[in-house]
Structure 1
């Protein structure tokens, strides 16, 4: 008679969850160690090479060609995208495809940034030869200063050795993160060095939520007759009609010169609720010196002011004269919030 196999005790869901969390913490610890080692290396010889790489890219007449293979290739593609989106023209060329015609994309005015942890990928040899033949600047990102790639480079960024998060020390994890971090550092150093502003950023990011956040108050504000306005001395009954008809929950109060001096909001009505409120003057109810913004304030900054001040609308002014109003709902519709 066949023997029955003993039943295996099933691990509880809690044990599985704890094991997964501990695994994640070990991964973060290993990868964090790699970033710490990279930061420490930047304060030594790597820092000198890093500064030289930034200067080489800054002075280039052409574009930055970022290349790599395998996991390094995926990281290289992201670095190229980061360069391009922060004002450094760049694109990705696959190291293997370069040998099959894509070398024609690279000109003598360009700078090549080649990623390879070992620096010995055979697929990169033709690209190295091409760079040497046409005297194209080559920046190597590798962990081996004696590698073929490193020795052929104009500037070699030698990353410190670090253990992969993979328990077998095989799967590119920590190393990929370090390459990505160094690429980001290059992009941001170039961004800051050329004074790349939020205005420049908005030109390159017109779509999606990021594009919405980079719109200006002037793009979202209501103007003209839509702006709720009343002069000093107005009865609260008239101010309330203006608030209700314009639908923003507030009315800006201006002096004889048209300059904003206060604002009456729904909150002011509640705070001053009394039998004679409708016959009172706005002067006695308004909040003086209200928060205002300029036409050229970014929508993301307007949202921050609304949230931090716990209000729902902002009057847009030009030389202290109201020219528009932006409501929280406008930001929501635009996709900012």
Structure 2
């Protein structure tokens, strides 16, 4: 029994490695084909190759028209129904041209060839394209659920760390701002957790309102948010934090009879305070807690 376990484990490892390699190659191929220019070039090459193959007589009398299914299928899977049907029409037209060259340009005959081929290729494109679009829609929804905080609709902690990993690879300047809601526990104890959730949503809405398209706002804890500001220096961070505080002062948490939210904030700059997510978070956290203790309107480190 023990010998069987020893010999089976390597086989399982090999199978797992092969599966991982296959998944990696498939993922990389799909990423390449998502680029429209590359995808169109590949489909055109495949259509031309299929057309050239159709020029040569089959040794067994087999119709080479079936090879056009490959570029049609690839186009439909990679780009959806629209491009798949376009590839199907081009393939059918090429079949009609070759039929006309071989047997004389009889209009009815050519039209019949084009119609029958388009029916075959079009059905293939329609089936695979519809499946691909449905799959893509599901993937987008799953990605949204996996990367979005359900209460605030901003990015979640997983999305934040993924974004930080990308920025670490890019090595471009950015600022990390850690923001903590003041006295959220007191708000919960006084008005209830539903009001506390409303306060969290208020902060998320204000943060989203001041972020640029290149920035990221994420909720990373119960009452804690982060902002990742690309190409921001200390002065730029202070401007953003002051703007957030000013807007929060104008907001009233629903159901509190006029209570507004205040925040404590701390920041770290890439390069100056560290180059990894762990280092930057530690510095920004320390700055935020210092700000909370001092109750000043400005960031202590900045």
Q: Same fold by TM (over 0.5)?
A: no
Task: Give the TM interval when normalised to the shorter protein.
Answer: under 0.3
TM-score (norm 1): 0.23
TM-score (norm 2): 0.25
